[in-house]
Amino acid sequence: MKRVLFVCTGNTCRSPMAEALLKQKLNDEIEVQSAGIYAVPGSDASEQTKEVLKERGISFAHRSQTLSLELLNWATIVLTMTESHKQLIISQFPEMNKKVFTLKEYAQGEDGFSGDIADPYGGSVNEYRFTAYEIETMLEKLWPNK
């Protein structure tokens, strides 16, 4: 079974949003977790993240976790929200370089482009909605018609 790990900075906005959206999309077809490079373990998802997920009918209990070698080893694929997240992971864990990609890079394939998922941290609910839309667009490219 494929295991996807989404990674962002604090594991309260983008990566838990991606985790929840993919879990809703694929149900139990794959295992999904999220983590943050600088996460404070046990933090809840941001209020805006919870609101955007609720608007999509997603009930999601979340507690942040810090990225670890154990999580990286668990994952079949590691999808980061930014190029800098990807580079930091590869610099600290070079043995992971074949399974770490930005979400946009992985979704677009070799002919696509890299790029970052916008960080809505501290922003309005509309900014979080845009981030959710950006993530959903990439997930649809990876798992169409699901």
In this predicted structure, the answer to whether residue 113 has a pLDDT above a threshold of 70 is no
Mean pLDDT along residues 122-131: 97
Per the prediction, the chain carries an average pLDDT of 94
Collapse the DSSP code of 3 into the 3-class scheme (helix H, G, I; strand E, B; otherwise coil) and give the result: strand
Q: Strand 77-80's sheet: what is its strand order?
A: 31-36, 3-8, 77-80, 100-102
Catalytic residues: 8, 14, 119
How confident is residue 29, by pLDDT bands cut at 50, 70 and 90? confident
Closest by CA to 105, choosing from 82, 136, 85, is 82
In this predicted structure, the answer to whether residue 111 has a pLDDT above a threshold of 80 is no
H runs (alpha helix) in 64-124: 69-74, 83-92, 103-108
Collapse the DSSP code of 18 into the 3-class scheme (helix H, G, I; strand E, B; otherwise coil) and give the result: helix
CB 49 within 8 A of CB 16: yes
Indicate the domain borders of the chain: 3-142
Q: Is the pTM of this model over 0.75?
A: yes
How confident is residue 109, by pLDDT bands cut at 50, 70 and 90? confident
Least confident span in 33-37, 56-60, 87-91, 109-113: 109-113
Question: What CATH class does 3-142 carry?
Answer: alpha beta
Q: What is the pLDDT of residues 61-100, one digit of tens each?
A: 999 999 999 999 999 999 999 999 999 999 999 999 999 9
How confident is residue 34, by pLDDT bands cut at 50, 70 and 90? very high
In this predicted structure, the answer to whether residue 36 has a pLDDT above a threshold of 80 is yes
The encoded tokens of residue 141 equal 């490219």
